[in-house]
Amino acid sequence: MIAGMTLSVFVHVVLSLIGILSGFIVVLGLLANKRLVGMTHLFLATTILTSVTGFFLPAKHFMPSHALGILSLIALMVAVVAWYSKNLAGGWRRGFAISAVIALYLNFLF
């Protein structure tokens, strides 16, 4: 146990904190009209891993955090397609910005 947490909870929390911090930096970059490539990769990777690892934490039934995890993964799917496949062309830039902010909010929320 690490600080009273199991290893899986500790890893989930660390990933979440990295995702939140890098997400705030990415959003600041979006506001300044700058593509922060490395930070965006870090944000997307850690936020996806946070959502995925949340499903492996102990729970006896479907909880609101599971629903938020699903919504987060949907938002992240849009962000990943916009960033990697569409290169933020046209309306995909707005789609990335909106979905990234939603994913950051959901990561911060739970």
Q: Is residue 30 part of a domain?
A: yes
In this structure, the number of other CB atoms found within 10 A of the CB of residue 35 comes to 13
- Residue with the two structure tokens 């995909």: 92
**pLDDT of 89 strictly over 90:** yes
Q: Is residue 87 part of a domain?
A: yes
Asked if residue 29 lies in contact with residue 36, where contact means CB atoms within 8 angstroms, the answer is: yes
Query: Residues 84, 107, 77, CA angle at the centre, nearest 5°?
Result: 25
Q: Is residue 77 part of a domain?
A: yes
Percent of the chain with pLDDT over 70: 99
Q: Is residue 46 part of a domain?
A: yes
Q: Is residue 74 part of a domain?
A: yes
pLDDT of 21:
98
DSSP string, 73-90: HHHHHHHHIIIIISTT-T
**pLDDT of 84 strictly over 90:** yes
Q: Is residue 33 part of a domain?
A: yes
pLDDT of 79:
98
Q: What domain range is 55 assigned to?
A: 7-109
Q: Rg (Cα) of the chain, in Å, rounded?
A: 14
> In Å, how far from its chain's centre is CA 91?
21
**For residue range 52-80, what is the model confidence (pLDDT) as tens digits?**
999 999 889 999 999 999 999 999 999 99
Of the two residues 82 and 2, the one the predictor is more confident about is 82
Q: Is residue 80 part of a domain?
A: yes
**For residue range 20-60, what is the model confidence (pLDDT) as tens digits?**
999 999 999 999 999 999 999 999 999 999 999 999 998 89
Between CA 14 and CA 7 the distance in angstroms is 10
**pLDDT of 2 strictly over 90:** no
Q: Is residue 1 part of a domain?
A: no
Per-residue CA distances from 1 to 4, 15, 40 (Å): 6, 17, 31
Total domains in the fold of the chain = 1
Average pLDDT, whole number, for the chain?
95
